[in-house]
Amino acid sequence: MRTSVTAIAGAAVLVFGLAACGGSGGDSGSGDGSPKKGGTLKIVGSSDPDHIDPAAGYSTVSQALSRQFARTLFISKSSNNFAEAIPMQPDAASEVPTKANGGISADGKTITIKMRTGIKWNTQPAREVTAEDFIRGWKRLCNPASPSGAQGYWITTIDGMEAYCKGYTKVDPKNAKAMADYQNGHQVSGLSAQGDKTIIVKLKQPAGDLFNIMSMGFGSAAPKEYDAYIPDSPEFRSHTVSDGPYQITSYTANKTIVLDRNPAWSGASDPQRPAYVDKIQVTLGQDQPDAVQQQLEQGTADLAWDQPVPTPSIPRLKSAKDPNFAIMKAPQSNPYLVFNTLSPNNGGALGKKAVRQALEYAIDKTALVKIYGGPDVAEPLNQIIPPENVGYQQINPYPTPGNAGDPAKCKSLLAAAGYPKGLTLKFPYRVSSNHPKIAESVKQNLAACGVTAQTAPDTNGNFYGESLVTPANAKAGKWDIAAPGWIPDWYGPNGRTLIQPLFDGRTYGQNSSDYGGYSNPEVGKLIDQALQSIDENQIASYWHQADVKIMDDAAVIPFMAQKYPIYKSKRTKNAEFIAANQAYDFSKIWLSS
């Protein structure tokens, strides 16, 4: 998942006993007293989500936002106990299908999902959410106007999805009616509804992570009203429809997002969202982490939207044992440098493996760790898959003394690759949190290697919503390197959540998370083998082999494995963490007077 806060990459978790740990204990929500309803939860931060449309939203903040107004069949429980949050819970589904309850066939390839009653759209009049609404939502993932960056999950898992999506690419992306006609006139062979409240899913092969896939925001239902709009267009953003506890009542790009209670929502149908506050107000355009932190400590704001606790504040908060501060444990990698392998700049240098391998030696990862707060928060990382994740076996293909970089070796290898005079690289960076400091440090490291980095600030929303995810930008050389973030889409059986979206070149296209257009058939084969296997040891081996191959190709430069420092206002109670969203669960928070 694209991170809107720290740049994070992640993979699946093997060790499930990791509890979220507070840097000074943290507030787990216990001992807060009786919950109170009412009030406005005030959230402040930098930039828009990458998308408002749940079908396309793939940043941490877009997932946190869609959780409030777009319900999914299954959901991960928010909790400050990491292990407790791993098992899937039913959301719009009445139960999690198993072989024991008849929801999973003997061969594991047919899934029967039964839905709750009482879940309604906030239409006039309110209307019950149906099985067809969920199928419509999933069919929207392949729309050509704003496709989901996670459509590969569905294409490789569900019967008929690949053929359906392939046909959808031929539809005019500027014609809402043409897209609606395609969706309504073409079926996915592996998706069907039995009445209003039962969904039948046919799989290519058993998938132990299917319910995790469906728990993401892009797995939500879509009302028929969405057929009238181009996906994620300004018109769409002004006409979102809600089946969750809150509805978007006001949205001004890069300024504010306001959610009020959804009058059609029933708490009896939603055991995961108590929805204590009356209003959620997100104020954007605040790029300075120190200013955001000051508001949280003063109580003029309650939560940060897309920024962790600024590094200089961490020692002070730890020393003071501030109960509103915590360092949350969620296995991840953060951040990483991606190469635009399609860039024509420098004679197509970044398309050459030897050039990328030379640049692997340039980065002082120890310095980057210090930017994020030192060893309490982060440690250098030299591979794709971080520790405690499926497929992890320690490798270090480009070692440098103390992980501090080796500019002399970088220069030497760059000259051997045919670039003795170095390179000039376009380097857009996000303006929030630690990203400007990361960009400056990387720029200095590259300069020591004889490479000039032309840095350019970019907002989070544009960075993920346009700059990096538009193939035309990559092919035109509008950028050469960037430092995006990635966090696992879920924890538990999630080996596919890192390698597939970031490195499967077969799914490269608009909104792809394979930002640099990396493609290697050998990696594609390993992905297929991992997804088709049911042997846990073999699955882990395939992901490790993919890690080794991707690092040999030098598709990216990993920087560090990182925990997440977070802060809340004093009046914010029952704050429960969602590790994959890097945020507290807005719907569970209540406010003291």
What are the residue ranges spanned by the domains of the chain?
336-562
DSSP run (H or E) holding 558: strand 556-558
Predicted confidence at residue 562, as pLDDT, reads 87
pLDDT for the residue numbered 285:
94
Q: Does position 497 have pLDDT exceeding 90, yes or no?
A: no
Instruction: Assess whether pLDDT exceeds 50 at residue 453.
Output: yes
Three-state DSSP class for residue 313? helix
Return left, alpha or beta for 417; rule: phi > 0 is left, psi -120 to 50 is alpha, else beta: alpha
DSSP state of 428: E
Rounded percentage of the chain residues whose pLDDT exceeds 70: 95
pLDDT digits (tens, 9 = 90+) for 36-45: 999 999 999 9
Confidence of residue 196 (pLDDT cuts 50, 70, 90): very high
**Mean pLDDT across 420-429:** 98
**What is d(CA 139, CA 151) in angstroms, rounded to the nearest whole number?**
10
Q: If you average pLDDT over residues 233-251, what whole number do you get?
A: 98
The phi and psi torsions of 260 (rounded to 5 degrees) equal: -115, 170
Average pLDDT score over residue span 268-296: 97
| pLDDT over 80 at 194, yes or no | yes
Q: What is the DSSP string of 343-408?
A: --HHHHGGGSHHHHHHHTTS--HHHHHHHTTGGGTEEE--SSSPTTBTT-----SS--GGGS--HH
Residue, of 16 and 491, whose pLDDT is higher: 491
Q: What is the mean pLDDT of residues 143-164?
A: 95
Per residue in 158-174, pLDDT (tens digit) is: 999 999 999 999 999 99
Indicate the average pLDDT of the chain.
Answer: 92
- Type and span of the H or E element at 516: none
pLDDT band at residue 17, thresholds of 50, 70 and 90? very low
pTM (2 d.p.): 0.84
Q: Determine the pLDDT at residue 18.
A: 26
Looking at the predicted structure, is the pLDDT value of residue 21 above 80?
A: no
The mean pLDDT value for 375-393 works out to: 89
**3-state percent breakdown (helix, strand, coil) of the chain, nearest 5:** 35, 20, 50
Query: What residues contact residue 77 under an 8 Å CB cut-off, 6+ apart?
Result: 84, 85, 87, 89, 272
| pLDDT at residue 3 in the model | 63
Radius of gyration of the chain (CA): 23
Position 6 scores a pLDDT of 37
Query: 101: helix, coil or strand?
Result: coil
Predicted confidence band of residue 533 (pLDDT cuts 50, 70, 90): confident
Q: pLDDT at position 31, please?
A: 65
Strands 198-202 and 378-380: unpaired
Percent of the chain exceeding pLDDT 90 equals 81
* Chain Cα centroid distance, residue 205: 25
How far apart (Å, rounded) are the C-alpha atoms in residues 154 and 190? 11
Cα gap 563→404, rounded to integer Å: 21
Q: Does the structure show a pLDDT above 60 at 511?
A: yes
Confidence label for 65 from pLDDT (cuts 50, 70 and 90): very high
The CATH number of the domain covering residues in 336-562: 3.10.105.10
